[in-house]
């Protein structure tokens, strides 16, 4: 048969991402998509006293039936899609090591580790171990930070990612609540903040 390429719609080519908000009148749930940390903090200020769930890939939803839902829907919960926060997609290699954004998938983390592993065997070793986590389709969409934060709220979840990052001595830049102050924590310190709003940046 014949193939004919179609032009991209002009509106799609000029599309600009923008923050979104939706309220489900029946359940009281609120859905947000901020595009900056300032917008994120403003949402948290308005959500005081409500259950909060940050969304990235949401692959951990399949685990909730085993580890409990923590009341994350249907009762006036606030859902915040953090995938458009630019700070969560950064990655760089510096004198202090490798910095990786929290919204990056496990597969992207593996790629970054392999790219940074020239002469640095520990990076390649971490990448090799991460290839054993979950399945290829899950690793392609699941964020590494989502795995860590799920473990933070479900301490009985046996996370290989948490084990690897702890062994590697990873440090985490964290925004607690709607604070503008970034706090650097070890894995142990991060896990000890369970129950309070926190964003890895």
pLDDT tens string for the chain (201 positions)? 577 777 878 887 888 889 999 999 999 999 999 999 999 999 999 998 889 999 999 999 888 888 876 545 556 899 999 999 999 999 998 888 899 999 999 999 999 999 998 766 789 999 999 999 999 999 999 999 999 999 999 999 999 999 999 999 999 999 999 889 999 999 999 999 999 999 999
- The DSSP secondary-structure symbol of 168 reads T
Question: Whole-prediction pTM value?
Answer: 0.88
Cβ–Cβ under 8 Å, residues 130 and 106: yes
Which residues have C-beta within 8 Å of that of residue 96, sequence separation ≥ 6? none
Which residues have C-beta within 8 Å of that of residue 103, sequence separation ≥ 6? 56, 82, 83, 85, 88, 89, 143, 145
Nearest to 91 by CA among 105, 72, 81, 73: 105
Pair of tokens at residue 16: 């600009």
Pair of tokens at residue 198: 């926190």
Distances (CA, A) of 113 to 9, 39, 119, 192: 37, 31, 12, 27
Cβ–Cβ under 8 Å, residues 83 and 35: no
- Give the position of tokens 């054993």: 132
């Amino acid at each position: 048969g014949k193939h004919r390429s179609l032009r991209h719609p002009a509106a799609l080519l000029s599309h600009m991402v923008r923050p979104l908000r939706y309220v489900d009148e029946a359940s009281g749930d609120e859905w947000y998509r901020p595009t900056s940390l300032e917008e994120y903090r403003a949402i948290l200020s308005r959500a005081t006293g409500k259950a909060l769930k940050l969304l990235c890939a949401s692959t951990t939803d399949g685990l909730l039936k085993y580890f409990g839902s923590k009341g994350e829907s249907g009762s006036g919960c606030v859902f915040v899609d953090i995938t458009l926060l630019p700070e969560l997609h950064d990655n760089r290699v510096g004198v202090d090591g490798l910095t990786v954004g929290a919204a990056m998938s496990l597969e992207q983390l593996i790629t970054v580790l392999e790219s940074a592993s020239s002469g640095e065997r520990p990076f390649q070793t971490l990448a090799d171990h991460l290839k054993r986590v979950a399945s290829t389709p899950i690793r392609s969409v699941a964020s590494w930070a989502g795995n860590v934060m799920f473990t933070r709220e479900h301490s009985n979840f046996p996370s290989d990612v948490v084990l690897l990052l702890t062994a590697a001595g990873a440090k985490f830049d964290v925004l607690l609540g709607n604070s503008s102050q970034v706090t650097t924590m070890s894995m142990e310190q991060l896990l000890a903040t369970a129950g309070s709003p926190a964003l890895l940046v």
